[in-house]
A and B are shown apart, each in its own frame.
Chain A
Amino acid sequence: MIYFAKWKIAMVLGVCLLGLTFLVPNFLSKETAEGLPDYLPHKQISLGLDLQGGVHLLIEVGVDTVIRERAESIRDDVRVTLRNAKIRYAGLGIRGTSVRVTVKDPAKVDEAVSLLSKDRIGMDIDSDGSAITLAFTEKSMTEQKVGAVEQSVEVLRKRIDALGVREPTIIRQGDERILVQVPGIKNPERLKKIIGQTAKMTFHLVDTRQLAPGRVPPGSMRVPDAQDKYQDGSPVTYLVQKRVMVSGESLVDAQPSFESRTNEAVVSFRFDTQGARKFGDVTTKNVGVPFAIILDGKVITAPVIREPILGGSGQISGRFSVQETQDLSLLLRAGALPAPLTFLEERTVGPGMGADSIAAGKIAAVVGLIAVIIFMVVGYGKFGGMADVALMMNIILIGAALSILQATLTLPGIAGVVLTIGMAVDANVLIFERIREEVAVGRTPISAVDAGYSRAITTIIDANVTTLIAAVLLYQFGSGPIRGFAVTLAIGIMTSMFTAIMLTRLMVVTWLRRTKPTKLEI
């Protein structure tokens, strides 16, 4: 225990030196650190959202809506198919996620089944007497769900990137969830608004037929206005055709701009070739008729077609603020979400709060460190001083490990570091106490130190492994900031074992060899 091979000394010193070098980038500005050549350490500790401020959102994708919409379109398809084949049916509807229909003439059931089965992938079609059920296969359901979530991730990525924030995290989590983390954002409400909006835009002709109030003719629907309300507070509604003239999918571009005459904030858009042709056709045939632009089930504007719009571009004016035209253009460019989103969990930390937490954490760490350092010197004299050197090296190594592993430092993580400061000296305390005992039974200094180390080591390992177990489970089951705590705790345990067993031992042994004391004062 008191003999150190040369390579071991080199290793201990090497680890310490490496720790120092890897810690250095943290004292540089972010730009300088990133500009360092690749062969130099340039990674910095990444701060958690709770320390640098930012938004953490856990979002659920309403995949059931996607399935239901698919089922609805299949129901409509069944209706058309059976009508065209002149097969009379009853009770066409959706039950759960499957479509059911009853064929009136039992003789035509087989014909109906074979017609409905044609080109239909991913569905099981069963008939029970005259009732036919079209159900999605398990595989197809999963594919649709995963598809919807992945598409949502793509759309969110486009939207968030368009906001110009740095280093956003947008990842799929589990089957139906998306985790969005955006560090250092100033206006979380705007972010949420931009993430949460489905942004499904469609163009419809307004149904101008004069009808008894309250009646909705087949093929049309009532859609509320986005802003206008009657005096009783109920929204103004429009009667529009269900058939979609052109949908937002045909948009190739959308930009905020100003109407040249009125200087009103508007959104300019452009259709692709197909959309432009469709839009041109409909507007040519319907001059003088109003059409409605519907966004997420609300009419934003319903202008009258004054002349055919053939160029495939236009403007949406909906009494917008400048910010609103910016957001709407962004949403239209990024595309609509395939399904509605629900925020399951939101944790937003303002930048001021994060800075305060860092400051408080630093003060606590420094005060804790000084207190422990003083205590150790008072308790163990020069041995305590050596333990203190090891303690500081320990903190350097924790910082270096966090930088290398790119683990996230959170507020509980800082607590973990402070706690480690208190607990790290434990290994040294165990050893020093052991040496004291050995000295007390009359051993020579060298033999006491030797025995102290060799006997304390098993205890140190046993005691630390148990804490390590707790840290691993915390990491496994914890989330976000708590994981940060588990990480620093685990790293702290390992570095403190290294510094106590290797570094202080090297110092103690070197001191012993140099001074050759006849009496050990510890």
Chain B
Amino acid sequence: MSRLHLIPLGINLKFIPKRKMFFVFSCVIVIASIFLFLSKGLNYGIDFRGGIMIEVKTQGPANIRAMRETLSGLGLGEVALQEFGAPDTVLIRVQRQPGGDQAQDPAVQKVKAALGANVDYRRTETVGPKISDELFWSGVQAVLFAIIAIMIYIWFRFEWQFGIGAIVALSHDVITTIGLFALFQFEFNLSTVAAVLTIAGYSINDTVVVYDRVRENLRKYKTLPFTDLLNKSINETLSRTVITSVTTLLALFALYFLGGEVIRDFSFAMIWGVLIGTYSSICVAVPLLLYLSVNRGTGASKTQIEATE
């Protein structure tokens, strides 16, 4: 029976020798992400910014322009409407109303009164300023604590050099994901934080698998030059890395195209996370070990790097 071998056994791609290229690429996208985050900022959803979100379904295709005119006349500040998945479904966002937590609900009543009873209110979400602040900080805490906890675990299971490499790769993925959201101005909400954390988990998962092989090979090949050893480790695990990414992507694409409008942004973030996580494990996390003076027991790694370059 013939079998599909995405990655043939004994493949030997030159990842490590091309590391400078990867580093430059990674630095560029990380810096660009930080720049985008600072200049354009994130398009925070109501979870973090407060405000009102109403999804309505109209009878027949929605006349968004007319609805926009009606709602803009209510004096509720910024009102944004967009078609949401289908021509008869409209997502209405109303900015957070000044006047604290009490001021939000009356605005919802106004919008509902203006739209009348002919539309089906599929969901209504109102988040006051108090909760949005809390959600924002718990989101930040969750991401920071997750990174710290994962770092501690890696530290505990491997040597510190691996911990640093894994965290650099992980931060790389998290930062560029945020950069992507800043670039496309996708809504950044609670689900996005969930996506970011899952990306963190996936990315580290990938990194751990390759690092495990590096550790094993360090014991097995005491004299192999370190660059070759790293490259060998990547290639040996490449098939697994690619296949797992493919199966995960298959599931995620199903979710993206069929899972409904509400989780489309979430699925998108995850797809990006799988791609960037796979890249960073191979092209960032492993090559970094070259510069982190990994203890090779018998031979000093430093001299061997120089010898092979």
Chain A residues proximal to chain B, CB less than 8 Å: 50, 58, 60, 188-189, 192, 196, 342-350, 352-353, 356-357, 360-361, 363-365, 367-369, 371-372, 375-376, 378-381, 411-412, 414-415, 418-419, 421-423, 425-426, 429-430, 433, 436-437, 440, 455, 458-459, 462-471, 473-474, 476-479, 481-482, 485-486, 489, 521
> Is B247 among interface residues, defined by CB-CB distance under 8 A?
yes
A189 touches B112 (CB 8 A): yes
B201 touches A350 (CB 8 A): no
Which of B1, B126, B208 is close to A343, meaning CB atoms less than 8 Å apart? Answer: B126
A348 touches B3 (CB 8 A): no
B251 touches A473 (CB 8 A): no
> Is B193 among interface residues, defined by CB-CB distance under 8 A?
yes
B205 touches A467 (CB 8 A): yes
In the bound complex, residues from chain A placing their C-beta under 8 Å from that of B55 are 353
B255 touches A419 (CB 8 A): yes
In the bound complex, residues from chain A placing their C-beta under 8 Å from that of B254 are 364-365, 367-368, 371, 418
B198 touches A419 (CB 8 A): yes
| CA A36 to CA B219, docked complex, whole Å | 58
User: Taking CB as reference atom, which chain B residue is nearest A358?
Assistant: B260
> Is B307 among interface residues, defined by CB-CB distance under 8 A?
no
Which of B9, B57, B150, B248 is close to A440, meaning CB atoms less than 8 Å apart? Answer: B9
In the bound complex, residues from chain A placing their C-beta under 8 Å from that of B193 are 478, 482
> Which residues B61-119 have CB closer than 8 A to chain A?
101-102, 104-105, 108-109, 112
In the bound complex, residues from chain B placing their C-beta under 8 Å from that of A379 are 3-6, 243
In the bound complex, residues from chain B placing their C-beta under 8 Å from that of A469 are 146, 149-150, 153, 201
In the bound complex, residues from chain B placing their C-beta under 8 Å from that of A345 are 126-128, 131
A372 touches B247 (CB 8 A): yes
| CA A361 to CA B120, docked complex, whole Å | 22
Q: List 11 A-B contacts (CB under 8 A).
A: A345-B127, A346-B105, A347-B124, A357-B260, A381-B1, A423-B202, A429-B247, A430-B240, A437-B236, A468-B201, A473-B142
In the bound complex, residues from chain A placing their C-beta under 8 Å from that of B246 are 375
Task: For the complex formed, measure the closest distance between the CB of A20 and the CB atoms of chain B, giving whole angstroms.
Answer: 23
> Is B262 among interface residues, defined by CB-CB distance under 8 A?
yes
> Is B141 among interface residues, defined by CB-CB distance under 8 A?
yes
Which of A349, A368, A414, A455 is close to B122, meaning CB atoms less than 8 Å apart? Answer: A349
| CA A356 to CA B88, docked complex, whole Å | 14
B263 touches A466 (CB 8 A): no
In the bound complex, residues from chain B placing their C-beta under 8 Å from that of A521 are 1, 3
> Which residues B108-159 have CB closer than 8 A to chain A?
108-109, 112, 120-128, 130-131, 135, 138-139, 141-142, 145-146, 149-150, 153-154, 157
A489 touches B122 (CB 8 A): no
Among B243, B251, B270, chain A packs the most CB atoms within 10 A around the CB of B251
A360 touches B259 (CB 8 A): yes
> Is B164 among interface residues, defined by CB-CB distance under 8 A?
no
In the bound complex, residues from chain B placing their C-beta under 8 Å from that of A412 are 191, 194, 263, 266
Task: For the complex formed, measure the closest distance between the CB of A511 and the CB atoms of chain B, giving whole angstroms.
Answer: 15
User: Taking CB as reference atom, which chain A residue is nearest B140?
Assistant: A477
Task: For the complex formed, measure the closest distance between the CB of B15 and the CB atoms of chain A, giving whole angstroms.
Answer: 18
A360 touches B260 (CB 8 A): yes
| CA A347 to CA B105, docked complex, whole Å | 12
In the bound complex, residues from chain B placing their C-beta under 8 Å from that of A378 are 3-4
Which of B213, B236, B247, B257 is close to A375, meaning CB atoms less than 8 Å apart? Answer: B247
Task: For the complex formed, measure the closest distance between the CB of A270 and the CB atoms of chain B, giving whole angstroms.
Answer: 33
Task: For the complex formed, measure the closest distance between the CB of A421 and the CB atoms of chain B, giving whole angstroms.
Answer: 5
A485 touches B194 (CB 8 A): yes
Which of A58, A360, A429, A440 is close to B131, meaning CB atoms less than 8 Å apart? Answer: A58
A466 touches B208 (CB 8 A): yes
Task: For the complex formed, measure the closest distance between the CB of A55 and the CB atoms of chain B, giving whole angstroms.
Answer: 9
What does the 1/0 interface line of B154-195 toward A look like (CB < 8 Å)?
A: 100100000000000000000000000000000000110110
| CA A369 to CA B254, docked complex, whole Å | 9
In the bound complex, residues from chain B placing their C-beta under 8 Å from that of A436 are 9, 239
In the bound complex, residues from chain B placing their C-beta under 8 Å from that of A349 are 122-123
In the bound complex, residues from chain B placing their C-beta under 8 Å from that of A371 are 250-251, 254
In the bound complex, residues from chain B placing their C-beta under 8 Å from that of A470 are 146, 150, 197-198, 200-201
A342 touches B270 (CB 8 A): no
Which of B5, B9, B200 is close to A437, meaning CB atoms less than 8 Å apart? Answer: B9
| CA A350 to CA B108, docked complex, whole Å | 16
| CA A433 to CA B145, docked complex, whole Å | 33
B124 touches A415 (CB 8 A): no
A-B pairs, 10 with minimum CB distance: A422-B251, A477-B142, A470-B201, A360-B260, A422-B248, A368-B254, A467-B201, A368-B251, A364-B259, A353-B122
A477 touches B266 (CB 8 A): no
A482 touches B190 (CB 8 A): yes
Task: For the complex formed, measure the closest distance between the CB of A75 and the CB atoms of chain B, giving whole angstroms.
Answer: 26
Task: For the complex formed, measure the closest distance between the CB of A499 and the CB atoms of chain B, giving whole angstroms.
Answer: 15
In the bound complex, residues from chain A placing their C-beta under 8 Å from that of B208 are 459, 462-463, 466
A411 touches B250 (CB 8 A): no
> Is B24 among interface residues, defined by CB-CB distance under 8 A?
no
